[in-house]
Structure 1
Amino acid sequence: MNYDSRNYDSRIVMNKMSIHHKKRVYLLFLCSLFGILSVYLIDAGRLFGFDFVEGVETVAEMDNLPQTLKDYEGYLDISVHELSLSDAGDLKLYVNGDKAYYFLPACARMEEMLFRFDEDMYDVVIDGVAVASGDMLAAYEPGRAYDMHIISKRQGVQEGMDCTLTLMQSESLPAVFIETLGDIEELNESLDNEDQGEFICVLADGSIDSQGFLAKMNSRGNASFAKAEKKSYQIRFFESTDVLHMGSAYKYILQANALDPTYLRNKIVYDYCKEIGVPYMADSLHVDLYLNGEYAGNYLVCERVEFGDSRIAVENGYLLEKMMSGRIQEDDVAFQVEGMEDFIVREPLEVSEEEAAYICDYMNMVEQKIASCTTKEAYEELKKYIDVESFADMYLIDAVTNNIDSNIASTFYYKLSEEEGGKLYAGPYWDYDNAFGRHDRGYIAELCAYPSGYSEELFAVRQFRELVVDQFNKSAGPVMQRYIDEVVPSMDDYLQASRKMDICRWEAKGHHGDLYSTYEEAYPYLLVYMQKRLDLVEDFLNHYESGAYHRVVFVNTSSIGYRDTEYWVKDGGAIPEEVIREVGDRFYCKEFLNENGKVYRREPIREDIILYGNKYEEL
């Protein structure tokens, strides 16, 4: 049908859309009852004229109007709609005080877009010209500011507001549109809430990449969920779906990167790990995400860390995650390993008592062999049980990224079945928004922000150190230098238009970067920190054997605070006071004792030493 703004009756079309929406909701309800049979119900529904990919419902109830437009922040049902992308639905107007925005995906074509709103609820005037629902946007230009006057009508009471309207448009990025049955705010309120809906991913050229029905959508995260208004999500399709050529799977993660003002840290680490040869790293791509017609921001669509043909291709093995004890859920299969605390069995999904006992015993055996690995013979014996190359990768990734969560949470290992060799592998890697000095606990680049884990413990073994140095010099170091010089600036440039939209959308809520909360401050700092940390790691690894550097291991002797960590100091240097204070804050102690029981007073360091926390605070 050729829509002409001169005779386009928006209310008739909106009423039709309301009917379509009710049909779609009914069939999605059937999908939830019949699961995989939903696809057949959908095909049957189309035969009888049901429309499953129409836009979101645009007939809003009067109760959906804001109580007042004064100082209002949020979305209004004054939408724009692209005729060639009817699957994507309407895009609502975002208002923040005296500023209003339409956030357009890269695939949007202005000449095919029209306004769509209920004229019984709103009057709209742009640059002195009254706008009717159905008017085309061909004359409007993205990036240009327009004077906008809105009158809302609530039960006969009219209220007006003046604002500046800007049409912002992304570039190059795919767009993901999700329409849920319920309100997104319900998902954002609790990690326990879930919903169903429709999913469509559209590439920048307007072609459809993937689409399907979601059996489940829920919020996810820990610190990011608690701190940030912008939430991350997990989605699960009714049918296995290939999104953005990541390989067909049921589950995907939509990472908000709400704690990272650069939007880059997770993507940097995921791609870096893949490039240095870490197997089974998650594919990921930045997208613009729209939820029920509202622009949710710039997101990173990621594969989930799980077993599967297009994920971690392991059969009859185990996927383990190091986890903080306070985050373990009642239905998690968890066990403890001396020195590494708690692990969760992520795969297989169903674990018998015998299987749980087996993997617990295996991990404790590995820990004991690592702890007693003091000779070449012991190292060769250990290699029968673990893949030392993957543990060397873990050491380097910990060292280069200086991620505060490493060896605390989201740290994965997988074990092959006996038929596949039976060894334990370190990786793949996940959740790096706290890497590269973003958190205030990692601002000292010379101090390891993470507690020691298996790979740090293995560094005491000369043969393992040689492997680490070799892998760093051949791959990990040069690749990271290229990322700093070329890849990261290219990533940043690619996100420029989308990032500006995200900043406008969320500036009222604020980013939660612990050191730098704005992109303008955070991005230059990221590059400087990455270079500083890389230079330190390179210098330390290549000169440790000669005695030019020494390891200072801080040991937490209490049951509170963070576990042991390291500081690398040049021969003859002293530990700076700010390092002593920082580690003391982590351990909740006021001083450190050397192995002779004397308080460390910034004496020069001439060898590897251990310092023990002392005078702990009462919490």
Structure 2
Amino acid sequence: MLSDAVSQTHWETAIYTEDTWYYFVGTSAPPTNWNELDFDESSWSSGPGGFGYGDEDDNTTISNTLAVFFRKSFQVDELDEIVAAAIHGDYDDGFVAYINGVEIARSFNMGTPGTTVPYDQTTEGDHEAVMYQGGVPDVYIMDHNDLEGLLQAGENVFAVEVHNVNSTSSDMSSLFFLSFELNASVSYYGTTPDWFFVPTAFTTSHLPIVIVNTNGQDIPNENKITAHMGIIDNGPGETNHLSDPYNHYDGFIGIELRGSSTLWFPKKQFAVETRDNLGENNNVSLFGMPEENDWIFNAPYTDKSLMRNVLIYKMARDAGRYASRSHYFELVLNGDYRGVYVMLEKVKKDNNRVDIATLNPDDVSGDDLTGGYIVKIDKWDGENVGGWYSEPQLENYSGFYYQYHYPKPDDIVPEQQEYIINYIDNFEEVMISENFSDSSSGYASIINWYSFVDFFIMQEITKNVDGYRLSSYLYKDKDSNDGRLVAGPIWDFNLGFGNADYCDGGSTTGWAIDFNLVCPGDSYQIPFWWYLIWSDESFRWSVQQRWHDLRQTMLSNTVVNAVIDSLRDHIGVAADRNFERWPTLGEYVWPNYFIGETYEEEVEYLRDWIMTRMEWMDNELLATYGNTILVPELFSLNPVYPNPFNRSASIRYLLPIDTNIKLDIFNAKGVHIYRLFEGEKHAGIYTLSWDGKNNYGQEVSSGMYIILLEADNLQYNRHHYIETRKVILVK
């Protein structure tokens, strides 16, 4: 009997695709017992697996054919030690797999399971291989009941036939692996490949469950296919069961892959369009978001905190700017659990998204022609791309592309193209003029000033390496609706908050807007006019004032930490399932700057990075610029955050005058532990961190500590200013 054990087990791979197999090119029918153990394979050719026409994923090149048959034997020493088996297959276009002559797996396009497949049968639709482009192969699991009576002690044979979609197909792929789940005490085979996974057991979630069925169709990179989507959402605090009826959405969708560099990740992002029974757009409200039909299934993969986009979009909305609303869910695609996803609103013109005037094809004159428009600065790829190239305007600055986002390239008429190009050209001409910073005739008269200020702050708090230069939106309403140029909405921050190991993306210091200086060789540079705007003292002053205001409210340490805690708690145990499905914890995923061993470490790294980044921005912005300075009205030592803390505590203090200060740490017995600062400080707002170490660089023990701020206060009331705060260190 095969073992029923389900704990203390591990997986090993018995057959790899690159192993040597016996194979037969199907120009005629193979013997009927070709997939059985007693078949004499000596007359067949042999070679490393991966049989095809010589593409990137082929190890053995074969001639054009409708089918190829291949087999390889393997040993089983102890049947009782085997718990389950996994067959991973990456194929183009269809397959049937066997062990000892018994069918064990079949692709959706190869007819009815259990039926014989003629050697010259073509597949019912095509299927593209994915491993050569960074994807993960399909998997088929056999538990101990499935394996009962199938395997035998000693020699066994694994056999596969792969069929093409037609005789003129330009490619064929056939990469297969056989792995076994074994009891912990034994080891018979090799290590599993780096990408190895088995389906995660998934039946319930506290998050909504989204179930998509493509009815056997592959999801393409562009041109959406029709599929079915069901959503189970029993409400806050309720458990959602995979077996529950669809109660939030039950209908058709269009779906396609989405992204640029993220297309190479095995956890795919999707663009989804809700549709009615006739295939037309169907505006619906999902998870309480305003009715629309265009949605994004965002797939956090390189972002192992699972919250970078959600966090910054909330920050932007709390600052009064539109940014995509979001909602977490767990995705099941064609029966395969795909992990934690985020439902996002696609950036588009809508009364509840980018609220600008509708621009119809016949709006070609007067005020109607002046808006609304959405343009995007981005890579020139994807479907339905159109726009224009902005030639370099200043020495040492490269050009870049503006793309039509609304109206779409195939909808915008020539008069509208001419208008928006001329409008942006005029903006750029003003920016390179000598008087660009003039408050009445310069760029300030063209742009929505504070939208640029907030856009700048959101890019900088994240130090987004893609900021300003990629996925960067601008929009303009009709002149009669205040048609100044607006920066935003912000988009795509999975590489922000210290999650990039290139172009200084991991550092908490330095301005993201200096990207062109840090990475001058990158093909996508920040538009020249952002540097000119940042060089304007009036703009810097506005950023300084806005930063000060935001740090007192929605960007205070307390609020930001509370949001991170809330998101972490909301995701909860779904994170465990996500990382069981996508085992990236402790592994480098491009372009990680930090690699945490646990989900908690990833969240704490994000938290510490943000606190340190905001501290750096405090010291840069809440200090002298020109002849202006932000001066608090009173001395203050703010509450420490987080409290209790584990890694680092952030300490913020306000000085209304230039003064000498001392900032010290004492333990509960009054013993001096560490001096954070001693010396003269100008009036201003300051932030320091304590890492839980003493004056000798040694880590101190858990417990309560006292933070003491002392300052000369003769100018105010001739008293020495003293204030204390308590903080608890927990290890």
Matched residue, 1:418: 479
Contact 2:476–2:485 at 8 Å: present in 1 too? yes
| Residue 72, structure 1, aligned to residue 71, structure 2 | no
- Note the alpha carbon deviations across 1:296-321, whole angstroms, 9 max, x for none: 11001000000013321211310111
Question: What are the residue-to-residue correspondences of 1:46-445 with 2, within 5 Å?
Answer: 72=86, 149-152=144-147, 171-183=205-217, 186-187=218-219, 190-192=220-222, 194-204=224-234, 205=238, 206=240, 210-226=248-264, 228-238=265-275, 239-278=282-321, 280-315=322-357, 316=359, 317-325=372-380, 327=381, 331-336=385-390, 338=392, 341-349=400-408, 350-372=411-433, 374=435, 377-378=438-439, 381-441=442-502, 442-445=505-508
Gaps of 5+ in 1: 1-62, 76-117, 122-147, 550-619
- How many Å separate the matches in 2 of 1:521 and 1:264? 14
- How many Å separate the matches in 2 of 1:389 and 1:166? 47
Contact 1:337–1:364 at 8 Å: present in 2 too? no
Gaps of 5+ in 2: 1-68, 75-81, 90-111, 116-142, 159-178, 184-198, 276-281, 360-371, 394-398, 516-525, 630-731
- Note the alpha carbon deviations across 1:114-157, whole angstroms, 9 max, x for none: xxxx9999xxxxxxxxxxxxxxxxxxxxxxxxxx7342489999
| Residue 467, structure 1, aligned to residue 542, structure 2 | yes
- How many Å separate the matches in 2 of 1:425 and 1:345? 15
Is the deviation greater in 191-200 or in 207-216?
A: 207-216
Question: What are the residue-to-residue correspondences of 1:479-490 with 2, within 5 Å?
Answer: 479-480=554-555, 481-490=557-566
| Displacement after TM superposition at 1:163 (Å) | 6.2
| Displacement after TM superposition at 1:211 (Å) | 1.5
Is the deviation greater in 172-181 or in 505-514?
A: 505-514
Q: TM-score by structure 1 length?
A: 0.60
| Displacement after TM superposition at 1:236 (Å) | 0.8
- Note the alpha carbon deviations across 1:326-380, whole angstroms, 9 max, x for none: x365742334264561110100121122211221121121122233365763456
| Residue 447, structure 1, aligned to residue 544, structure 2 | no
- How many Å separate the matches in 2 of 1:215 and 1:378? 49
- How many Å separate the matches in 1 of 2:268 and 2:531? 33
SS of alignment partner, residue 377 of structure 1: coil
Report the residue type matching 2:480 in the other structure.
E
Q: In percent, how many aligned pairs have the same letter? A: 19
Matched residue, 1:531: 611
Matched residue, 2:644: none
Q: Which has more helix, going by share of residues?
A: 1
Matched residue, 1:554: none
Report the residue type matching 1:265 in the other structure.
R
- How many Å separate the matches in 2 of 1:377 and 1:427? 23
- Change in 2 beyond 3 A, CA 1:411/1:166: closer
- How many Å separate the matches in 2 of 1:155 and 1:311? 57
Report the residue type matching 1:523 in the other structure.
V
| Residue 514, structure 1, aligned to residue 592, structure 2 | yes
- How many Å separate the matches in 2 of 1:366 and 1:515? 37
| Displacement after TM superposition at 1:496 (Å) | 2.1
- How many Å separate the matches in 2 of 1:328 and 1:337? 22
Q: TM-score by structure 2 length?
A: 0.51
- Change in 2 beyond 3 A, CA 1:193/1:358: closer
- How many Å separate the matches in 1 of 2:420 and 2:331? 40
| Displacement after TM superposition at 1:208 (Å) | 5.2
- Note the alpha carbon deviations across 1:556-605, whole angstroms, 9 max, x for none: xxxxxxxxxxxxxxxxxxxxxxxxxxxxxxxxxxxxxxxxxxxxxxxxxx
Count residues in correspondence: 411
- How many Å separate the matches in 2 of 1:390 and 1:196? 38
- Change in 2 beyond 3 A, CA 1:411/1:119: closer
- Change in 2 beyond 3 A, CA 1:443/1:161: closer
- How many Å separate the matches in 2 of 1:508 and 1:394? 32
Contact 1:374–1:461 at 8 Å: present in 2 too? no
- How many Å separate the matches in 1 of 2:436 and 2:549? 26
Contact 2:541–2:625 at 8 Å: present in 1 too? no
- Note the alpha carbon deviations across 1:402-423, whole angstroms, 9 max, x for none: 0011122111110111221221
Contact 2:500–2:593 at 8 Å: present in 1 too? yes
Report the residue type matching 2:252 in the other structure.
L
| Displacement after TM superposition at 1:512 (Å) | 4.1
- Change in 2 beyond 3 A, CA 1:334/1:271: same
- Change in 2 beyond 3 A, CA 1:197/1:289: same
